[in-house]
Every structure is written in structure tokens, then in C-alpha cells.
Amino acid sequence: MSQSNQKTVRVGLLGIGTVGGGTFDVLRRNQEEIRRRVGRGIEVTMVADLNVERAREVVGKAAEVVADARLVVANPDIDVVVELIGGYGIAKALVLEAIAAGKHVVTANKALLAVHGTEIFAAARAKGVIVAFEAAVAGGIPIIKSLREGLSANQIQWVAGIINGTTNFILSEMRDKGLDFEVVLKEAQQLGYAEADPTFDIEGVDAAHKATIISAIAFGIPVQFDKAYVEGITKLSATDIRYAEQLGYRIKLLGITRRQAHGIELRVHPTLVPHRRLIANVEGAMNAVLVQADAVGTTMYYGKGAGSEPTASAVIADLVDIARLMDVAPGARVPHLAFQHDELSTTPILPMDEVVTSFYLRLRVADQTGVLAKITGILAEQDISIDAVIQREADEVSGEGGNQTDLMILTHDTKEGRMRQALVQIQALPTVLAPIVSLRKEELA
Ligand code: HSE
């Protein structure tokens, strides 16, 4: 039976900047196609933005524009509130008020969900409303839909993703041009790829918000951003990117979550990835997410992780879902975190000492007999197996006689705690002349 007589879904946008503007434009441009898919129209009828004039320029007479977002949230004619304000402050209050008013919510706010998701989803359950968040992770890539629905037959084993375009752009430029981090960051800011205050991106926080949400829906656990390990790219040097390349690896900022027997890994850090892997070849501001699951094997999802219309694509897909499901009993909808809420698992997030990875080490050492033997001896005591060792003349030989060299060691998998103990001992050797660089490596096989 056709549903095309159902009433139009009325949407209130909170914020009409880059993503809000894209959402308005795409909804209008594709309204007929969307109506054919959904069986009813979806229309932005109200917009809140502090810049009322600019908002009016975007929407014309198509929607009412107000400065006060609370007028949208309180309007009984609005069915769905789309929160595009960002941050934890006013955005959280507005989302909770919208839920309390019985409205469905779409949000692109990964920070809000990674930190306050448990409270927000509980409030939504109590009111029987949907909180949809496809746009919060990897922009236009439908990774939430894929994990929550497309892969629902599987036990997911791990997910590893390039989920921050800013840092991927910076790393690509550093590798391509052999430039240092600070130089490329300035270039990225000039080109608009990095914000004036880039802290959340370059320190890995944005990626950790997204990885936290991914871990929750992949494994059916609550969102636990406070347990995520977060390391950005600010300390990465062009030297290590070059050495990694010589060893057959690229360095990517990965968000990784992996199921182990007694817990779940949740971490963001620069990672060496074999250059022959597809994900190692994701360059510039693009995003990609690799999922390993027991039945399907490996799948990979690639696309734009930010931007006006790519993110609008995700926001509108959520609006389409809501338009289809708003008249369905709440229990028959896809649960917020993919698993029934009373079936969420208490499996802990593992401390980093328990995380298993292989490593790349770079050591500036005195070029003397027995130095390598001492280092490998300490690694062996910690049961850390070596995969490869290369030696290169140090870039900047300092000191009398310049009798120094760089040693690069690749290890097999080990518990991070063992590596930390080994590194303390190796660093204390008098023949180790500079702070050791240690980077995690993932084969992603
Ligand atoms: N700042 C993010 C990035 C975009 O660089 O990927 C939105 O999450």
C-alpha cells in the first residue's frame, strides 16, 4: 500500500552553517527523489541560527528563521530537531530538551555522543524517540548504518579507521613533500583543511570521539570516551615517516577498536600500516574504515569524512530513517547502539599495557660493538620477538667524531606493557644517545 499520503515530516535545524546549509540545499534539490523513497515529504520548516540574516539568505521564505534555538525545540509543529551546533554545552541542553518534548533528534555531534551518549540514549528510550547520528562518524560514509545493520549477522573482531581528514591531509603532505609537522599544519590552515584552533584534530581527540562511538556499536558496549587512549600526530617527525616508507610502511592516524578475550581495545595513535594495504593509500582529507568480522571477512568503507554535502548526505539519510520509522513501535526500531539496550555488555576497555601491537623503534646509538646485542637482549628478556632491524647513518651526527647511528627495529606483536618495560631499560643504556621513538604498527591482515 502506498504511503504517499502521509503527512510531511517537519524538520527544525539548529545551526545553518556548512552542514546545515548543505542539508537544506540537498533536501530541496532531491525532494522528489526522497519523497519517492520515503512515501512522504521531508521539509525544513524552521531554522535557528545566531546569524539570522545569513540564515535568511540561505532559506529565503522556505522556512521560519529565529535566533533562539529553544523556539525550535519547543515548537509543537516540529517533528525532528537536527542539532548542528557542536560541543558539549548548549548542544547537550537542546538535545535533551528536544527529547523531553518528544521530538526525534539527528545530530552530527560526535563529542556530545562519545561523552554523554549514555545519558542521551537513556532519555531518548524513556520518551520513545530516535537519536540518529550517522553524520557524527566519517561524514558521508554510511559506517554507522553498515555496522549497525549491514553487518548485524557478524561478530565484529576489529575496526580500524582513518576517521580524521585534517590529520590524514597533514600526514599525506608530510610524506609527499618530506616536510615537518609544523610547516604542513600552517599550510593546512591556509587551505582551510585545519581549523584556526586545530587541537581536537591534531591531538587525536576528534578521532577518539568517533572511535568511541564505533566501539559501542561494533561490540554492544556503552560509549566510554574517558577510557580511550588518545595520541595525536604533533610529535611525529618527517624522519620517521621516511624510515617507515623505506621499511614498506605508511604512517596513518588510526582509530582502532578490537575485541580481545577479556576486554576491548580502544585507541587512537599514529600507526605504521603496510603500504600495500588499501587503507595505507587513502590520502589527503579522505576517510576510510576497515572492519574485520567473522562471517563477511574484511570490508572497507571509503569517502569524504567532512564537508557540506557529504555530511548533509548522512544527516538526510537519518531523516529518511526517522520518516520511515517514526510511526513504528519503538521496540521495533534499530537500537541506538545496535544491540538491545538491556543486552549491552560490561566487557571492560583494556588499559594500554594490555593492548597487543607490534612496534617500530628508532634509536640513536653509539656505533660500537655490542650495542645491538644489548638492545635485542633486553627485548628478548621481555619476550619481544624482532621482525627486522636496519641501520642508517644518523641524519645529523653530533659530537666529536660523529660516531653515531640510527637503528630501526620492527617487532612482532607484544603486550604494550612489556614494551614499556623494555624501553625504560634500553633508554637507560649509556650507548643510547637520544630519546627513543616508538610507534605502534598494525599489519591489518
Ligand atoms: N575535523 C574533522 C576532520 C571533520 O578533520 O575529519 C569532522 O569530524
Mean pLDDT of 266-287: 98
CATH assignment, 143-304: 3.30.360.10
Ligand 1 centroid to Cα of residue 280, in Å, is 19
> For residue 354, which amino acid is it?
E
> For residue range 181-194, what is the model confidence (pLDDT) as tens digits?
999 999 999 998 88
The span from the CA of 260 to the CA of 207, in Å, is 21
Task: Determine if ligand 1 sits within 6 Å of the CB of residue 305.
Answer: yes
Ligand 1 centroid to Cα of residue 290, in Å, is 18
Per-residue pLDDT at 396 exceeds 70:
no
Ligand 1 centroid to Cα of residue 206, in Å, is 7
Domains 3-141+309-343 and 356-441 fall in the same CATH topology: no
Of 281, 290, 303, 301, which Cα lies nearest the Cα of 175?
A: 281
Pocket test for ligand 1, best of 18, 112, 143, 164 (most atoms within 8 A of CB): 164
- The set of catalytic residues is 210
Q: Are 186 and 192 in contact (CB under 8 A)?
A: no
> For residue range 63-76, what is the model confidence (pLDDT) as tens digits?
999 999 999 999 99
Cell numbers given for 355: 593492548
> Residue 382: what are its φ and ψ, rounded to 5°?
-90, 10
Q: Which single residue is written with the C-alpha cell 576497515?
A: 290
Domain made up of 3-141+309-343: CATH architecture:
3-Layer(aba) Sandwich (3.40)
Q: Are 286 and 165 in contact (CB under 8 A)?
A: yes
Residue 53 host element (H or E)? helix 52-59
Task: Determine if ligand 1 sits within 6 Å of the CB of residue 109.
Answer: no
pLDDT class of 398 with cuts at 50, 70, 90: low
Per-residue pLDDT at 158 exceeds 70:
yes
Domain ranges of the chain: 3-141+309-343, 143-304, 356-441
> For residue range 120-136, what is the model confidence (pLDDT) as tens digits?
999 999 999 999 999 99
Pocket test for ligand 1, best of 166, 203, 282 (most atoms within 8 A of CB): 166
Residue 373 CB contacts under 8 Å (≥ 6 apart), including other chains: none
Pocket test for ligand 1, best of 184, 200, 202, 206 (most atoms within 8 A of CB): 206
Alpha carbon nearest to ligand 1 atom 7, residue = 306
CA 426 and chain centroid, separation: 34
pLDDT at 264: 98
Ligand 1 centroid to Cα of residue 246, in Å, is 30
Of 297, 302, 244, which Cα lies nearest the Cα of 273?
A: 244
Ligand 1 centroid to Cα of residue 418, in Å, is 34
Alpha carbon nearest to ligand 1 atom 2, residue = 164
CATH assignment, 356-441: 3.30.70.260
The span from the CA of 150 to the CA of 191, in Å, is 36
Task: Determine if ligand 1 sits within 6 Å of the CB of residue 306.
Answer: yes
Per-residue pLDDT at 257 exceeds 70:
yes
pLDDT class of 6 with cuts at 50, 70, 90: confident
> For residue range 16-28, what is the model confidence (pLDDT) as tens digits?
999 999 999 999 9
